[in-house]
Every structure is written in structure tokens, then in C-alpha cells.
Chain A
Amino acid sequence: MIDDICTILWKEWKEFLLQRGSSRKTMLMSALLPVILLGVVIPWRAGPAYVHNIVALVVPGLMPLLFVLMLVADSFAGERERHTLETLLATRLSDQVILLGKIAAAVLYAWGILVSTLALALLGINIVYGHGQLIMFPMGRLVPTLVYDFLLAVLLSCIGVFVSLRAPTVRQAMQTMNLGFMLIVWGIFFGFQALPDEWRSVLLSVLAGTNLLRSEIIAGLILVVADAALLLATHARFRRARLILD
């Protein structure tokens, strides 16, 4: 099963990286550009203070999530649009392999960009400014960033695949997802505004870090449960016959 998932993953990455051209140079540039920008240019401009700046982890953590959306929007809707879906479904691959392969391709791509960006940034900063001392992100920030980014990528992938399974075109899948996320962001914003003052101050104190570790663990668990529920829902929605007829 792992071999089959890797086969789908290879196909998804290659198709994604080749969408702007067919040459290996274009493919390499598409893969390396975000890593070079976030892992070389920004740390080089910021200097050793980079590792203590919260933006240093937030930006490389959030930006790859955009790639998740692009990859998953293309996952089923793109195959349907390009008339390759039925041929893929007519192979020996199981439903789970196809589904997990497409989710894994998006998650690992985004997470891979984050990890390689941070590794490259640390390497560059240590070479230029280290002078024999190890310059490192604070572990209390690094570990939650890596864990949350992974869990968020899974969450977004499942939502994206869920939408892409029924969307006739990539554009429609993207539009549905954009609308959904706008509603979520507005919902959070207006919902927060609508809370009573004392609830808001409790929430802010939790987020401000009076008991940050506990809040992080609770948030992590919520994400794990949401990921698991969405994975199950996506699997339940995956039906070969419906995918062909849609």
C-alpha cells in the first residue's frame, strides 16, 4: 500500500510542478523558488535575530498551506477536467490508495517546503553568523509550528479533496474553497466580536499564554479529531461510480 501511495504522490508532484512548462528546469524552479525565498533571502536580510522573530516561523508555516489548496483543488477536479480520472479509477489501485495518495501529496509537499525552508534558514544563519555557536529557533515555538502545520495541512487537504471530489473543474473547486474559507474567517471575526466582554478576555488570556502549553495541547487534539473526522468523511464520499458519472 505504501508503494502505491508513493506512486500517486510522485505523479501528483510531477504534474503539479510541470503545470507551467514541460522542462525539468521549470519543474526544479517551481519546487525551489519558495524554499529559496523563505529560507535564504528573508533570513539573510533579517540576520541572527531571525530565529527569535515570530514571523520567521509563521510565514514559512502559512505560505505552503496555499500550495495545499492548489494541489488538492487539482486532485480530482483536475483529473476529471483533463479526462484522466476514469483511467486512474480503472486501475488496480484501491479507493484508499488513491485518496491517501492525493492527500499525502498535498500535505507532504507543504510540510516539506516548511521543513526545508527552516533547515536552509538555520544552515545559512549558522554559517554566516554562528561563529561556532549553534543558533536555533526556540523549541517551544519550533515544535508546535511543525506539528500544527502538519495537522493544518491534513485538515485543508481533506476539505480540499472533499470539495474536489464533486467539482467539475479546478476553477470551481478553487472558488468553492475560497468562498468557504472567507466564510470561516468572517465567522471567526464576527463571532469573536459578538462574544460577551468577559468571554473575550478569557479567550485572549488563553491565547496570550497564561497557560500556553495546555492551550496548545487542546488545540492540537481538536485538530487531530477534526483531521480524523474529515478523513473518514472524505473516504465515505469517495465512490467510483459517482466519480465517473459526476
Chain B
Amino acid sequence: MTEIVIRTEGLTRDFLKTRAVDGLSIQVPRGAVFGFLGPNGSGKTTTIRMLLGLLEPTLGTACVLGFDVASQSDQIRLRSGCLLEYSGIYERLSAEDNLELFGCIWKIPRPERRARIQELLQTFGLWERRGEAAGVWSRGMKQKLAVARALLHRPPLIFLDEPTAGLDPLAAAALREDLAELTRREGVTVFLTTHNLPEAEKLCSRVAVIRQGKLLAEGSPEELRAQKAGHRAQVFGRGFSDQVLAMVRARPEIRSASLQDGRLLVELEDHSPMSPLVAMLVGAGAEIEEIRKENASLEDVFLTLMEDGRS
């Protein structure tokens, strides 16, 4: 049976009259890279703060690594690493001193600490510049240093709050690669918040989508794609007249249909088969050469969920 590292039940947090997190119930299995997706202000950071015991929930419960967030938050912080909203790097100190400081805080013995700092800085390509004040570094380098700091004491769980936010595409891709490599190598469970959907798609084994503090969906990216987004297909051929298009649009299993460069683009309702549509097209006189079925991206799922949430 899969061990659950984070379990929340009805987790809720109010700020005066605003409900930032609303009855959140999620489960994060050990070893997963769990993507917590949502637009700005959806309650992602508040959730991380509650899971780390930095904020008390207004209602509900949460258990992280077997410890209750309300009464055993010190045990959770002892066993986890984090990169929060800001990198939290001490900019007057060098990169090496930053890691040295947190190595001392986590009580890593000196020889092991030295070796670990070197290993992490080399992995992130920062070793050569370890003596420089971190304040003169680029944002990407600081984020890498912050990830190194989160992993320094080999915690079984790390929280990463939008680690690539504000980075240029190259720096973001580099950080993503390092992150994927390190989490794989160290077998750590990652709770990652982001609104960068391609990033979540590349990194995450499970995702949850949140909007205005409410959980909209949870599952693996594949499950969400299958559940929430319609199947798309491109039909190549000839004879797709306006009349045929109108007939296609009138079918109950069709969510949308359009013509583009002579191709017929259709989006089907969940789990609808293609064969009745193909039969109808052939019967209407169209000549079909090829059909390409496509899966929706996580971004499509996300947008669909946001639309559903609004309506």
C-alpha cells in the first residue's frame, strides 16, 4: 500500500472575511512530485504555510509525515525543506556561507556538511562562484541556491513554491532539469506549487488544481486529461463542406468542430467513440484519408477547470 506523506481533510483558512483555502482534502503519496496548480491568489502559498505549521488552519486537519500541523509543526519543519515565495537567500553572505548556515541549523556534522555543500553546488553549477556574495547573483542562480538549501539536509519532503517564477525560459528550463534530476536521485517527495502548466506536466506525477481556495480536480496528469478535457481529432480528407460541418456540429457527442486548411478539427465529449462520426462523414460524401487523435494538454485541462469553476 502506498504511504501517504501529506493528508489534508477539510483544510480551511480564513483571513478576516476572505476564505483563502476552502475545505481542501488531498493526499500526497511518498516519492511523488505533487503539483499544486492554481492561478495567482488561489491559496497555494497559504496551503504550504499551513502544511509547514507556519499558519494555523481555521478549520480542518492536516497530517504531514505523520505529524499533525496544528500540534506537531516543529516535527514537520525538522523533517522537511522548503523554497517559499521568496528565495530567502541571505544576500550579504556568500553561497557557501548560506549553505553553511543552514547546514549548522540542521545540525549536519562538519565533514558531511562540507561534502554535501560541494556536491550540491557542483550539481547546480555554482561551485566556482561559491565565495561571491549571493546578492550579486542572477535570480536564476539564487533560485538554484535556494533549491540546494532545501535539499541540503536530505529531507524526505520538500515544498517548492513557484520555483521558476520570474526566471527567463532558459534559466527556468535549467532549474527544472536540475530539480527533476535531484528529486529522482534523492527519492524525495516534492510538493510543488506553480501556475506554469508545461512545468507541472514535465515534473509532476500527480497534480491538484485549486481555484479560490477550492479543490477542482486531483489525479495524475493523464487521469485529468482523460477526465476533464474532451478528446480532439483532426480529420484529413476532402468534401468537408459547410453542410457537412453543420451536420457534425449537430451531433450530440461533438463539443466543437471547425475547418482549418481543409482539415476538420473536432472535439468530442468525454469517452465518445469516433466511429459513428466517421460513418456519418462517409455517408455524407466526405472522403477520409487520415484521422489523428490528440490528447489535451494539462493547460487545456486547467483552462477547462477554470471555466467550469467560473460558470
Contacts and interface: CB of A to CB of B under 8 A. Distances in A.
Interface of A: 3-4, 7, 10-11, 14-15, 18-19, 22, 82-84, 86-94, 240-241, 244-245
A87 B146 CA distance: 10
Contacts, number: 76
A14 B93 contact: yes
A94 B74 contact: yes
Contacts of A92: 74, 77-78, 105-106
A15 B91 CA distance: 9
A90 B49 CA distance: 9
Contacts of B133: 18, 22
B90 A15 contact: yes
Interface stretch (B81-89, B224-232, B242-250): B81-89
Find the residue from A10, A83, A87 having the highest chain B CB count within 10 A: A87
B56 interface: yes
A84 B89 contact: yes
Contacts of B107: 3
B92 interface: yes
Interface stretch (B96-104, B122-130, B178-186, B202-210): B96-104
A90 B54 CA distance: 7
Given A7-B104, A90-B77, A83 B88 contact: yes
Interface in B38-94: 49, 52-56, 74, 77-78, 82, 84-94
B299 interface: no
Nearest to B78: A92
B132 interface: yes
Contact of B93 (A7, A18, A88): A18
A87 to B, nearest CB: 3
Contact of B101 (A11, A82, A86, A240): A11
A87 B84 contact: yes
Contacts of B56: 241
Given A7-B104, A241-B55, A87 B93 contact: no
Q: Which 4 A-B pairs have the closest CB atoms?
A: A87-B88, A83-B86, A22-B133, A18-B92
B280 to A, nearest CB: 59
Nearest to B97: A14
Contacts of A90: 52, 54, 77, 82, 84
Nearest to A87: B88
A241 B46 CA distance: 11
B47 to A, nearest CB: 14
A19 B135 CA distance: 11
A82 B87 CA distance: 10
Task: Identify which of B88, B93, B101 gathers the most chain A CB atoms within 10 Å of its CB.
Answer: B88
7 contacts: A7-B105, A11-B93, A15-B92, A18-B92, A18-B133, A83-B86, A89-B54
Nearest to A92: B78
A93 B82 contact: no
A84 B88 contact: yes
A14 to B, nearest CB: 6
Contacts of A11: 90, 93, 101
Contact of A15 (B77, B93, B104): B93
Contacts of B89: 84
A84 B90 contact: yes
A87 B284 CA distance: 65
Contacts of A18: 92-93, 133
A92 B74 CA distance: 6
Contacts of B84: 86-87, 90
A89 B88 CA distance: 11
A93 B77 CA distance: 9
A30 to B, nearest CB: 12
Interface in B142-157: 146
Nearest to A17: B92
Contacts of A245: 15, 55
B23 to A, nearest CB: 20
Given A22-B94, A86-B54, A89-B54, 20 more contacts: A7-B101, A7-B104, A11-B90, A11-B101, A14-B97, A15-B93, A19-B92, A22-B92, A22-B135, A82-B91, A83-B87, A87-B82, A87-B87, A87-B88, A90-B52, A91-B106, A240-B54, A241-B56, A244-B55, A245-B15
B86 to A, nearest CB: 4
Nearest to A20: B92
A93 B56 CA distance: 18
A6 to B, nearest CB: 8
A15 B133 CA distance: 11
Contacts of A89: 54
A11 B53 CA distance: 24
B203 to A, nearest CB: 22
B105 A22 contact: no
Nearest to B103: A7
